Amino acid sequence: MSRNFREFDNGWRRRLRSRVLKWYADNGRRLPWRESADAYRIWISEIMLQQTTVAVVVPYFERFLAAFPSVQELAAADTEQVLRLWEGLGYYSRARNLHKAAQVVVEQYDGRFPQTTDELQKLPGVGPYTAAAVASFAFDQPAGILEANTLRLYSRLIAFEADPHGTEGQKTLWKFADWIVSPKHAADFNQAVMDIGADICRPDNPDCGRCPLLASCRACERGVQDKIPVRKQRVPVTEVTEVCVAVCRNDYVLLRRRGPQERWAGMRDFVRIEVNHDIGDRLNVRKQRRRSAAAVSAQPSLFDAETCEPDTYALPEEISAEIARHTGLELSNYHPVTEIRHAVTRYRIRLLCIECRMSPSDADSHSDAPPDSAETGFEYRWFRRDQLADLPLPTTGRQFADLLQGK
């Protein structure tokens, strides 16, 4: 289809805009970030909504705004505090860029968000969609938006049968988004098409009979709405086995800060080692069954020394050597805790969580100083168990920490 949209005249566009705005007036979702045109609130919500559903974002948004009610307070916050509040949302580069962007807004824009898409895209972590969303929602600028829901809706409206994620597809759909947006009611129009895409024009089984744009939809007219947009080819899944090690010394546990080029950069984490599947099998770690609240409260923490006496086994040499490489500590025994299954992008990970406790004599003679990062290449530090709740941990790290504390 031509990128000039010649088959869609101004009358078609005017009727579509009218239907969209009328539908939104009657059916638009009530969401906390839509309560005002405050650019800060809108920007926070849009960053959180990247790769994350509305239902998941709402409680995070409310907690984040309670902790950082203004861009100035976010800019002044400690990075670990920002990451701790983001914990569980995933894609943590969003949180790091959010923090950096807040500092740019305060230092270079006197605490006021720029109003144009070009200026907004100069902020760390702000791409074309987020810039257009903030410009239209906060400042009612007539900027079209293209994200997962509108990409699907617009592809079907114009029966775009090529790859919508390719270079040509993106050019075509962005041009259409800018052409179709209402010049006088951009905020309401963009919110509306996102809602229609999310609630009606779904990826599977679109509810065409309920769609206010049925009369304008070329894909529905041709009966190809289930084939548009063209699906991305699935990336093959890679199976990975990792061992997560809590190195404990009396009431302390050893955690490191993840490096800037690593997954979960800037967050704290246990020793985490990728191993061959057969080494993982030899650890004989099993997933813990879900326990009742009474059972949880009755079980002492794994930090309590007496709970670590039974079920201790000799560490495989490969894991012992990796722990020594990470921490400089020579450990020989472990206590199995649990197995956690999770996925990160195209990796399906079997995470085997174990505890390695220093012997009482070694623990008493060991310094509180962290292992020398210059020697190991890893930034480790001892933390008291009551500090774990305040530290930013990956989701699986938090699950492990809770088990260690008997939660």
Residues assigned a catalytic role:
46
Q: Which ranges of 263-309 does DSSP label H, i.e. alpha helix?
A: 277-283, 293-298
Q: Which of 250, 251, 286, 247 is nearest to 270 (CA)?
A: 247
**Strand (E) positions, 231-312?**
238-249, 252-257, 268-269, 271-275
Check: CB of residue 68 under 8 Å from CB of residue 74: yes
The per-residue b/e assignment along 349-382, b for 16 or more CB within 10 angstroms, e otherwise, is bbbbbbbbbbeeeeeeeeeeebbeeeebebebbb
Q: Are strands 271-275 and 238-249 parallel, antiparallel or unpaired?
A: antiparallel
Q: In Å, what is the CA distance from 149 to each residue of 49, 56, 183?
A: 12, 17, 21
Q: In Å, what is the CA distance from 85 to each residue of 48, 68, 402?
A: 12, 10, 17
Q: Enter the DSSP assignment of 277.
A: H
Q: Enter the DSSP assignment of 375.
A: H
Check: CB of residue 389 under 8 Å from CB of residue 402: no
With a CB cutoff of 8 Å and minimum separation 6, the contacts of 14 are none
Check: CB of residue 329 under 8 Å from CB of residue 247: yes
Cα gap 390→96, rounded to integer Å: 17
